Amino acid sequence: MTAPALQTIGLVKRFGGIVATNDVSLTIERGARHALIGPNGAGKTTLVNQLTGVLKPSAGRILLEGRDITTAKPEARVRLGMSRTFQINQLFQSMTPLDMLLLVLCEQNDLGLKLWQKLDKSGDLAREAAAIAERFRLDDVIGEPITTLPYGKQRQLEIAAAFAARPRVLLLDEPAAGVPEAERRDLLATVADLPADVSVLLIEHDMDLVFRFATRITVLVNGTVIADGTPAAIAADPAVRAAYLGESLDA
């Protein structure tokens, strides 16, 4: 039996007196279309930060395809096949989309330490970057400075860069955040287009996107998993409704 794509076992994160992640055991199967939802402040991004190595958990383990990565550095996890997008665009301000994609591809091909080699010796990487740009509708701005791109394109680039790393596990942190209604379709299409063998964990607030995309949903409230199952099961779960409806009643 093959190990799940990504798994956490009893993950805990404490900030002083606050427990941001409370004994979370999450399993993302291979080829999953798994969504993580929950009200604001539930600790979703904190969880992702632990999964990617930006934050160190207080307790618990993280396994990537069966391999323990709990103490691995972020860059090591990328090399093992994990990639992520950020909730707030994290791009390279001095670069163009072409530069950024080339960077990802170079690192993937272990060229990062080659200081004597031309940036694109064989021309293959440039072609691949161009292909990715086309796929993510960035071909018309591929050579423009990132700072001049409209927000929607920047968001596309954010996802394109994560995708270019040829991940086996992809973590999308609120990809639709700040994207206007009209462009969300494109985004959904992009996310739906991802190859079937890439395991995806999607964190989102947009329920439309979530229910169209996910085959499995985990609900996180105050750092604790309160439900985990198929979209239908989650929609019918009283605890989940209480968490969401309770939220809006209190407001």
Partner 1 sequence: MTVALDTPRPALSDLVGKTLSLRRRWKLGEVVFWGLTAAAPFLLPRGMLLLNEVAILALFALSLDLILGFAGIVSLGHATFLGAGAYAAGLFALHVNADPLTGLVVAVLAAALLGFLTSFLVLRGTDLTRLMVTLGIALLLFELANSFSTITGGADGLQGISMGPLLGLFPFDLQGRTAYLYSLSVLFVLFLAARRMMASPFGLSLRAIRDNPLRASATGVAINGRIVMVYTIAAAYAGAAGALMAQTTQFVSLDVLEFHRSADLMLVVIIGGAGWLYGGIIGAILFKVLQDAISLATPQYWQFWIGLLLVVFVLGGREILHGLLARSRAALAKLVSRRAP
CA atoms within a 13 Å half-sphere pointing along the CA-CB vector of 48:
23
Rounded (10°) CA dihedral 41, 42, 43, 45: -70
- Asked if 122 touches partner 1 (CB under 8 A), the answer is no
Which region, judged by CB under 8 A, interacts with partner 1, from 11-19, 119-127, 177-185, 216-224?
Answer: 119-127
Site string for partner 1, 84-103 (x = CB under 8 A): x-x---xxxxxx--xx--xx
Tell me the sheet residues that pair with 199. 169
In a 10 Å sphere around its CB, with 0-12 CB exposed, 13-18 middle and 19+ buried, how is residue 219 labelled?
buried
Which region, judged by CB under 8 A, interacts with partner 1, from 59-67, 193-201, 202-210, 238-246?
Answer: 193-201
Distance of CA 97 to the CA centre of its chain: 19
Which is nearer to partner 1, 171 or 217 (by Cβ)? 171
Smallest gap from residue 223 Cβ to partner 1 (A)? 23
- Asked if 139 touches partner 1 (CB under 8 A), the answer is yes
* Cα–Cα distance measured from residue 204 to residue 44, given in angstroms and rounded to the nearest whole number: 9
* Cα–Cα distance measured from residue 41 to residue 146, given in angstroms and rounded to the nearest whole number: 30
Smallest gap from residue 56 Cβ to partner 1 (A)? 14
**Chain positions contacting partner 1, by CB under 8 A:** 52, 54, 73-76, 78-79, 81, 83-84, 86, 90-95, 98-99, 102-104, 106-108, 111-120, 123, 126-131, 133-135, 139, 142-143, 161, 163, 165-166, 168, 195, 197-198
